[in-house]
Structure 1
Amino acid sequence: MNAKQPAGEREVSVTAFPKYYRLTKTDEYSSVFGFRKALKSTHFLLHYRLRAAEEGAGARLGLVVAKRLLRRSVDRNLIRRLARENFRMMRCRLPSRDLILRLAAKPQTLDRRVLAEEIRGLLGKMISPER
């Protein structure tokens, strides 16, 4: 029943987060930051850059959570998990862009619901046609 599938024939779930939906290289981050377009919320900045047709389709996500804002790694990882989860749920509706979600201000409390709603709000702004 659980036969292994060849690597080239694996099915990717709609909500999966494989490597090709992530920004991994320094040049990829630099190109998004260099484009200088961003949306702001209370605690986050969402930097974005349009992707060319030859770069492939679909949105990709990069995360920046500075240690100077959240000293504990548990807290930084919480922010990353929330961001990845919300990106996975909204990825199929997002336009073909490279996105970097950056924590810009230290949250007073780490309320998961509030932070997740803020992330969803920023990603939802990318779906709207005027951007």
Structure 2
Amino acid sequence: MSSSFARCYRLTKTDEYSSVFGFRRAIRGRWLMLHYQPGQPGGSARLGLVVGKKLLKRAVDRNRVKRVIRDQFRRRRAELPPVDLVVRLAARPDALHDGQLAEDFLALLGKLTAHRTKREAS
């Protein structure tokens, strides 16, 4: 299986982001917030990223956050259910450590699968 981040695995249009935000389901981590919406049956997980200038002024820092999250998504995409995800930076990290950002994102994915299995069971 390819571990690329092809266009079919991304949220690209404003309407796609708006529909995920409009679904109003979110999980908060230490620095990140994960908004999610069930995707199309038979499809795959898709990712969108929002890292604003308000929290990280330097473009190099914003790009680093996005790079870490995209990398973790690529590695875990096959394990994820068909869901549209928007990851947003919710708090300014004191110091940017790739490992801590990756752990926060993976913890959010773990909570997401726990929420989904709870709902399907009831």
Paired residue secondary structure (2:47) = strand
Question: Structure 1, unaligned stretches of length 5 or more?
Answer: 1-11
Q: Over aligned residues, Cα RMSD in angstroms?
A: 1.2
Give the length in aligned residue pairs.
Answer: 117
**C-alpha separation between the residues in 2 aligned to 1:27 and 1:76?**
23
Question: TM-score, normalised to structure 1's length?
Answer: 0.85
Question: Structure 2, unaligned stretches of length 5 or more?
Answer: none
Equivalent residue number for residue 68 of structure 2: 82
Is 1:26 the counterpart of 2:14? The answer is yes
Which of structure 1's runs of 4+ aligned residues deviate more than 6 A? Answer: none
Equivalent residue letter for 2:30:
T
Higher helix proportion (structure 1 or 2): 2
**C-alpha separation between the residues in 2 aligned to 1:115 and 1:123?**
13
1:51, distance to aligned residue in structure 2 (A): 1.6
Q: Give the greater-gyration-radius structure (CA).
A: 1
Is 1:94 the counterpart of 2:88? The answer is no
Identity %: 52
Equivalent residue number for residue 109 of structure 1: 95
Equivalent residue number for residue 47 of structure 1: 35
Paired residue secondary structure (1:116) = helix
1:51-90 Cα deviation digits (max 9, x unpaired): 233xx51100000000110000000000000000000011
Equivalent residue letter for 1:130:
K
